[in-house]
Structure 1
Amino acid sequence: MKNVSQKTGEKSSNKFVAKMKSMGKNIMPTLSKLSKAFLLPIALLPIAGVFLGVGAAISSNASDGTFLFYFGSLLNKMGDVCFGNLPVLFCISVALAYTKDSGIAALTAVVGFLVMNGMQAALLHTNSVEQSTVYVQLQDNSWHQLYSQVAGQDNKWWIDWENLNFGLQDIAKYVSASSKNIAEAGEGVAINSNLEYIDAAGSVYYSLLWINWIPNGLITSNIGVNSLNTGVFAGIFVGAIAAKCYNKFHDTQLPSAISFFSGTKLVPIITFVAVIPLSFIFMFLWPYLGMGLAAFGQASGKLPYGVDSLIYEVAERSLVPFGLHHVFYAPLWWTNAGGSIAEAFEKTVDPIVQQQFADLWAKNHDAMGLLGTADPKFDQIRNLISTNYTDLWKSMGDQTMAYKVIANSDVLNFKDLDILGLNIGRFQAGKFGFMLLGLPMAGLAMWLNVPKENRKSVMGIYFSASFTCFLTGITEPIEYTFLFLAPWLFYGVHMPLASISFLLSGLFRTHVSMTVSGGFIDYVVFGLIPFFGNKAMSATSVFAILGVAGIMAPAYFFSFYFAVKYGNVMVPGRDGNSDVKLATKADYKEAKGLNTDDTKIENNKSSSENARIEKATKIIEFLGGEANIVDIDACASRLRVTVKDGSVVDKEGIISLGGANGALIRGTNVQIVYGGEQEAIKPRMIKVLGQQRKAKKDKQV
């Protein structure tokens, strides 16, 4: 017999296992909502990216002061401002995603974002030196204290000009040290005329609380507030706090004396206080974390060209079926984890590399017009960019840097940055290889596996999906065709080939950026236009994309042709039935022997609207009824539903209604892939649910 301690241990173990399972079930819905939140600002980026790229090409090829110059600059800035404010856009989007699109939560998130950054601004200051620690080396190589204390006055200092033979304007040459001995040892630090510590590019260092030597690149203007450059991370956390405060307090009733602040008025007040600890957490940790991310970005960039891109795509593509790939690539695209222009300059200390950069830069740009010399030095170019092009200098993240370079290609381009080891586009350009030709050829291979007598009837399905992939880079119609039929095709064939596409693109240094997907439209905007418009990249960089696509085309075709054929994958039309239309709800219910007496929702709208309402009603039924549904949401291509019990969801029934490429059930999280129709289904499901729950409540009364 088991003793009491053994029984107690087993109970504790069972409780722990049950708790872990419960946590696991909640993770997927949470991450799913987060991924959906990311899609809201991402949906804005395509048009912003087009405006930025086209505007830069027009303005850079027009004379200053002309109509075309101003028109191009207008387009450029319209696009640029969206990328410059991604943190607050993510903040708002996260708040919306977790509060069923509440406008109050969105406004509260902005308040929280301002408060968090305002606190940092109040405590942030530049690193300054004490006058008594400043020493300067004279022309005879002797060291001399720059400032001398005024006799009898503790807080007043004067400059000992008698022993100096150059002026205050040369103060950048001075060395700051705590003693003359340290200065003589060459361990001093350069300062500017304001007695602030500066780096090799002349940018000041900052201090925050007890943390000194914070690089200038980790400080930026967040919607007008000079604070830590936390990228999208801080915005995500503030948005989550705002959503939590809204969900918990938006219907709170306060005592009558302060009842004015009840309900939604209470939410921003609570959020105002709630973000204070978050602001301090970022102040304590971010300077170290930010420098760590910068180090990661630099280290990953030193891997053999293409290896970092391959590793990235293995992880990114493996998350696509779960809709979580947006969460993965966000830091690499929009924070210094994906690289930093300022860091690339600062880490370039080899004199030979510096000279190569200066020579190439002088060849690519108007050195005389920009610097007044035909033979510029590395330090001069670095100071020019860090002083006069601060947005470009402080840009970080693979996509952000690409867009900033395109917008400022007259002063810095991709060819210049290649010399510094910054392979911009390494986490983006690989998609063009399999989106332009790879997956369309996979579609052709699947179609050729359809019996000849059925090919004509299914040609439209495969052609439209392939052309959509080629033109826009939207892969889901093709990907999900084989993902839900044979997952091994996705992970065993598609993912390795996509990773090879990234490997080759990284190897050839193809710097072509993109909005969200690598279709032909993005290739024109971010490849052909920057190349022909302002020579922002080399011919090899832009046209190697087509070479990679040419390699991927036969690789995808033959891989999928034989995999589908010998793997006996029943792609649409291959089952021998010439009628490839999905079954109707009546066909499905008749085959299942289910009751077809549907509840009618009366309305005076058109028959097409009635059909949409009816479809939404049936989806609710196949999800287990209104009692089983907790939440309904949608992203770019999927209907995302949280249910109480995922085991009662009828996936085949949902797919039989038509329009869905597949469905994924993970615990209480259900994702139905539509590719566009979900935006019409979501509001109608919410409407039907409201009617059903109201009717149920009235019946109970």
Structure 2
Amino acid sequence: MKVKIMEAMQRFSKAMFIPILILPIEGILIAFGNLFTNPKLMEVFPFLNNPITTGFGTILTGSLVSILANLGLIFCVGIAIGLANKEKAIAGFTALLGYLVFVNAMNKFMQLSGILYEGDTLQGTGQTSVLGVQILDMGVFLGLILGIVTAVVHNKFVDKEFKGAFQIYGGSRFVFIVLIPVVVLLSIALTYIWPVFQSGINGLGTFIQHSGSFGIFLYGALERLLIPTGLHHLVYTPFLYTSLGGAEEVGGKVLEGARNIYYAEIIDPHVKELSPSVVWDARGISKMFGLIGACLAMYHTAKPENKAKARAILIPAAITSFIAGVTEPIEFSFMFVAPLLFVVHAVLSGLAMVTFHLFDVRAIGPNGMIDFLLFNVPLGVGKTHWPTYILIGLIFFVIYYVVFRFLITKFNFKTIGREDEGVETKLYTKKDYKEKQSQGKAETAAAQGNDGIASVIVNALGGASNITTVTNCYTRLRLTLDHPEKVNEEILKRETGANGVIISDKNVQVVYGLQVNNIRKAVDEYLGLSANE
């Protein structure tokens, strides 16, 4: 049972990446649009005060904010696509249809039952307008539930075919036929059930909000500790997009979730100070400062003869973490050779977020310095307190450095540059990957008649027949294997540039960093898979 639960969570975790990876881009563009309508910037740069640039900023920001109002639909389609075993595009389209059916079915049932609120405003009633239709306010949870339901129905019936006159109703059409009564009945059931769940969620959110520093510490530490399992975004996503992360009234509308509240507040000129809920999105402290200190500690503790190699490895990894917030290459360099360092890293991440809370910092930096500058600096010091964010970051840079250096030397951890003779730990850059890819193609094509690095990866995973599914997230190639014991971790690391390999039952994750999309495409092509499978 434990294995099945973990498999289900990891599969759901992979599916979540489809909507999650799009939302940060939306946030950056909202912040970019806000630059052109920021009165303070217009005072510094008068040329921005013209109808063309302000109009562009208004249109860009206004159009993207609409995504926040329809997160349920976005997650519904994204989850269905991610969980579908095949015909993913059709699964997404069916999810869209199911979402429309559900919304209107719930509206009609609430109307017939006499529980549809008829006042001028829906605020505080537990009801809201979704795509212009009044229903219970389920937020992102509506999308998650319908996405899962659609995927289950799709996977079960997408191969169902009929003969004769009924042939036209087979396959994806039959999926929709089955889905209609399912979502209609679900809409009726949730009309009575959801208020109970919502009450529980609100109670949990209130408990977390009142738990103060302990709750924030637990959140920050868990978000890092779960990285090896790939489930860490299941911790922060509810806080960013649901009532667990707080609820605030902005511009006459009640918004739930730290990220939603933040996006609304940065474009509202009447908001003088951001909500304290932004602490749930201040996860970038370890990415921009802490791990940089850890890298410096690993460099200073490297053997003298390995200093140049350690410097060449750690500098690109540190820059990637600082600028883009991609931390896995650094974390996986010490996660397995020195697990204690990883636990300490998680603890320090939690403590950093507690420090933000205690000093009432209202700035965010979820994905590195680029995000931090775009989101916070244009808003001014009074609205975000961003200089305090940097000050705290510098303090934790020193703490990370001192603690990591002490532990590495105290326990003689074999971090970068401290490996035993003949053993090498290496982080691969994109340039390294391309060079290895070219080398691999030449070598393996001659020796095996295969197609470069993809063949090396597939063979190291036990061969094509051993691979059941192939997906990827932001930095990892995620696979399901029939026989995970056949995985050759050494070859994956040495020959293909993998930063780490995680095996949990039949679920295997191979960490490649930002170049994972190219690797996924190469593996798909080698296996003869299409993106829709």
Correspondence for 1:546: 390
Correspondence for 1:528: 377
1:51 has 2:29 as partner: yes
Which of these residues, 258, 265, 282, is aligned with residue 405 of structure 1?
265
Identity of aligned residues (%): 28
Root-mean-square deviation (Å) = 3.0
Correspondence for 1:97: 82
Contact kept in structure 2, 1:402 and 1:425, CA below 8 Å = yes
Once the two structures are superposed, residues 483-532 of structure 1 have per-residue CA deviations (whole angstroms, 9 ceiling, x without a partner) of: 122222111x1011111101101111212234xx3411121122111226
Q: 1:28 to 1:299 in 2, by over 3 A?
A: closer
Q: 1:128 to 1:225 in 2, by over 3 A?
A: closer
Contact kept in structure 2, 1:95 and 1:240, CA below 8 Å = yes
Correspondence for 2:45: none
Q: 1:298 to 1:620 in 2, by over 3 A?
A: same
1:124 has 2:110 as partner: yes
Once the two structures are superposed, residues 577-599 of structure 1 have per-residue CA deviations (whole angstroms, 9 ceiling, x without a partner) of: 59958699xxxxxxxxxx99954
Contact kept in structure 1, 2:333 and 2:425, CA below 8 Å = no
Once the two structures are superposed, residues 52-78 of structure 1 have per-residue CA deviations (whole angstroms, 9 ceiling, x without a partner) of: 123234324269993333222112123
Correspondence for 2:441: none
Which of these residues, 333, 336, 340, is aligned with residue 488 of structure 1?
340
Q: In 1, Cα distance between the equivalents of 2:273 and 2:11?
A: 36
Q: In 2, Cα distance between the equivalents of 1:600 and 1:110?
A: 44
Alignment-mate amino acid for residue 255 of structure 2: S
Q: 1:432 to 1:688 in 2, by over 3 A?
A: closer
Once the two structures are superposed, residues 197-238 of structure 1 have per-residue CA deviations (whole angstroms, 9 ceiling, x without a partner) of: 97xxx8457xxxxxxxxx33x323323332222222221221
Q: In 1, Cα distance between the equivalents of 2:519 and 2:503?
A: 18
Which of these residues, 288, 298, 308, is aligned with residue 436 of structure 1?
288
Q: 1:655 to 1:248 in 2, by over 3 A?
A: same
Residue 221 of structure 1 aligns to a residue whose secondary structure is: strand
Contact kept in structure 1, 2:110 and 2:191, CA below 8 Å = no
Structure 2 portions without partners, runs of 5+: 43-47, 433-443
What is the CA-CA distance between 1:680 and the residue it aligns to? 2.0
Contact kept in structure 2, 1:414 and 1:424, CA below 8 Å = no
Which of these residues, 490, 499, 506, is aligned with residue 357 of structure 2?
506
Q: In 2, Cα distance between the equivalents of 1:65 and 1:528?
A: 22
Contact kept in structure 2, 1:56 and 1:76, CA below 8 Å = yes
Residue 220 of structure 1 aligns to a residue whose secondary structure is: strand
Contact kept in structure 2, 1:127 and 1:197, CA below 8 Å = no
Once the two structures are superposed, residues 158-181 of structure 1 have per-residue CA deviations (whole angstroms, 9 ceiling, x without a partner) of: xxxxxxxxxxxxxxxxxxxxxxxx
Correspondence for 1:665: 503
Once the two structures are superposed, residues 374-423 of structure 1 have per-residue CA deviations (whole angstroms, 9 ceiling, x without a partner) of: xxxxxxxxxxx6xxx34xx2211111111111121x223435x5xxxxx2
Correspondence for 1:446: 298
Once the two structures are superposed, residues 602-636 of structure 1 have per-residue CA deviations (whole angstroms, 9 ceiling, x without a partner) of: xxxxxxxxxxx332222222222223221111111
Structure 1 portions without partners, runs of 5+: 1-22, 130-195, 206-214, 343-384, 418-422, 585-594, 602-612, 692-701
Contact kept in structure 2, 1:34 and 1:327, CA below 8 Å = no
Correspondence for 1:314: 221
Residue 55 of structure 2 aligns to a residue whose secondary structure is: helix
Q: 1:222 to 1:101 in 2, by over 3 A?
A: farther
What is the CA-CA distance between 1:269 and the residue it aligns to? 1.9
Alignment-mate amino acid for residue 574 of structure 1: R
Correspondence for 1:639: 477
- Mapping of residues 317-328 of structure 1, within 5 Å: 317-328=224-235
Once the two structures are superposed, residues 290-324 of structure 1 have per-residue CA deviations (whole angstroms, 9 ceiling, x without a partner) of: 233233323432344x3332121122222121111
Contact kept in structure 1, 2:458 and 2:523, CA below 8 Å = yes
Correspondence for 1:109: 95
- Mapping of residues 56-71 of structure 1, within 5 Å: 56-61=34-39, 66-71=51-56
Q: In 2, Cα distance between the equivalents of 1:334 and 1:674?
A: 28
Contact kept in structure 1, 2:279 and 2:364, CA below 8 Å = no
Contact kept in structure 2, 1:128 and 1:197, CA below 8 Å = no
Q: In 1, Cα distance between the equivalents of 2:353 and 2:12?
A: 26
Q: In 2, Cα distance between the equivalents of 1:309 and 1:543?
A: 21
Alignment-mate amino acid for residue 75 of structure 1: L
Correspondence for 2:456: 618
Residue 240 of structure 1 aligns to a residue whose secondary structure is: helix
Q: In 1, Cα distance between the equivalents of 2:330 and 2:410?
A: 19
Correspondence for 1:652: 490
Contact kept in structure 2, 1:47 and 1:79, CA below 8 Å = no
Q: In 2, Cα distance between the equivalents of 1:456 and 1:498?
A: 29
Contact kept in structure 2, 1:640 and 1:670, CA below 8 Å = yes
1:82 has 2:67 as partner: yes
Say which structure is richer in helix.
Answer: 2
Q: 1:628 to 1:518 in 2, by over 3 A?
A: closer
Alignment-mate amino acid for residue 91 of structure 1: C
Alignment-mate amino acid for residue 275 of structure 1: V
What is the CA-CA distance between 1:126 and the residue it aligns to? 12
Contact kept in structure 1, 2:453 and 2:496, CA below 8 Å = no
Residue 144 of structure 2 aligns to a residue whose secondary structure is: helix
- Mapping of residues 454-473 of structure 1, within 5 Å: 454-473=306-325
1:424 has 2:261 as partner: no
Point out the structure with max Rg over C-alpha. 1
More moved, 42-51 vs 664-673: 42-51
Alignment-mate amino acid for residue 615 of structure 1: I
Alignment-mate amino acid for residue 323 of structure 1: G
Alignment-mate amino acid for residue 68 of structure 1: T
Q: In 2, Cα distance between the equivalents of 1:513 and 1:231?
A: 23
Once the two structures are superposed, residues 118-150 of structure 1 have per-residue CA deviations (whole angstroms, 9 ceiling, x without a partner) of: 112223359999xxxxxxxxxxxxxxxxxxxxx
Alignment-mate amino acid for residue 310 of structure 2: V
Alignment-mate amino acid for residue 257 of structure 2: G
Residue 355 of structure 2 aligns to a residue whose secondary structure is: helix
Q: In 1, Cα distance between the equivalents of 2:273 and 2:170?
A: 55
Once the two structures are superposed, residues 549-600 of structure 1 have per-residue CA deviations (whole angstroms, 9 ceiling, x without a partner) of: 021011100111121222222223322659958699xxxxxxxxxx999541
1:628 has 2:488 as partner: no
Contact kept in structure 2, 1:454 and 1:577, CA below 8 Å = no
Contact kept in structure 1, 2:221 and 2:348, CA below 8 Å = no
| TM-score, normalised by the number of residues in structure 1 | 0.67
Which of these residues, 377, 392, 405, is aligned with residue 561 of structure 1?
405
1:338 has 2:245 as partner: yes
Q: In 1, Cα distance between the equivalents of 2:2 and 2:198?
A: 30
Q: 1:501 to 1:581 in 2, by over 3 A?
A: closer
Q: In 1, Cα distance between the equivalents of 2:57 and 2:106?
A: 36
Correspondence for 2:162: 254
Q: 1:435 to 1:690 in 2, by over 3 A?
A: closer
Which of these residues, 226, 235, 238, is aligned with residue 143 of structure 2?
235
Q: In 1, Cα distance between the equivalents of 2:423 and 2:504?
A: 32
1:263 has 2:175 as partner: no
More moved, 101-110 vs 245-254: 245-254
Residue 281 of structure 2 aligns to a residue whose secondary structure is: coil
Q: 1:278 to 1:328 in 2, by over 3 A?
A: farther
Which of these residues, 115, 120, 128, is aligned with residue 220 of structure 1?
128
Q: In 2, Cα distance between the equivalents of 1:84 and 1:473?
A: 27
Once the two structures are superposed, residues 623-656 of structure 1 have per-residue CA deviations (whole angstroms, 9 ceiling, x without a partner) of: 2222322111111111111112222222222222
| TM-score, normalised by the number of residues in structure 2 | 0.87
Residue 134 of structure 2 aligns to a residue whose secondary structure is: strand
Alignment-mate amino acid for residue 105 of structure 2: M
Q: In 2, Cα distance between the equivalents of 1:412 and 1:450?
A: 49
Q: 1:87 to 1:116 in 2, by over 3 A?
A: same
